[in-house]
């Protein structure tokens, strides 16, 4: 969420430290999402205190049937870097969606978004990602079309 591995590591360690202290005192949360919420709030605090990316309009392309081939060419770090550059709340929505760990209600609760907002953020993000994929890994033209 931060686009900075060092800051993310610091937040992760702080959350684990707090969780260990609570566990030692017998105060574990009943809600399995509490650590994710804590992480999100801490990331938002850090990102609001730092420099913010300039808001720009990104090109969008329809999701291509060739997308799985393009994505297979990606290194995992490339996807993480691309996603970390999205503005929040889109970054949060994409990260939670692609974690594939939460059901619909949990996604909405963690992101604090309504269904339509969440769907728009993920849908637009996927189309922006497709535009980036098309530039990064252009579709190869069949031989007879290249003339």
Name, of 4-13, 79-88, 130-139, the range with top average pLDDT: 130-139
54-101 pLDDT, tens digit each: 455 678 889 888 888 888 888 877 877 788 778 878 888 888 888 788
Rounded to 5 degrees, φ, ψ at 63 are -60, 125
Q: Is the pLDDT of residue 53 over 60?
A: no
pLDDT value of position 51? 47
Contact between 108 and 118 under an 8 Å Cβ cutoff? The reply is yes
Structural domain spans, the chain: 1-52, 56-141
In 10 A of CB 138, how many CB atoms?
A: 10
């Amino acid at each position: 969420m931060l686009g900075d591995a060092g800051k993310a590591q610091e937040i992760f360690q702080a959350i684990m430290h707090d969780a260990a202290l609570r566990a030692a005192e017998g105060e574990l949360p009943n809600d399995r999402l509490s650590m994710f919420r804590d992480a999100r709030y801490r990331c938002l605090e850090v990102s609001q205190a730092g420099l913010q990316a300039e808001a720009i309009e990104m090109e969008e392309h329809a999701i291509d049937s060739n997308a799985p081939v393009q994505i297979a060419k990606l290194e995992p770090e490339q996807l993480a870097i691309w996603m970390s550059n999205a503005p929040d709340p889109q970054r949060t929505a994409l990260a939670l969606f692609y974690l594939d760990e939460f059901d619909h209600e949990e996604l909405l609760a963690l992101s604090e978004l309504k269904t339509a907002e969440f769907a728009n953020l993920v849908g637009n993000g996927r189309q922006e990602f497709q535009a980036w994929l098309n530039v990064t890994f252009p579709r190869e033209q069949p031989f007879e079309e290249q003339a």
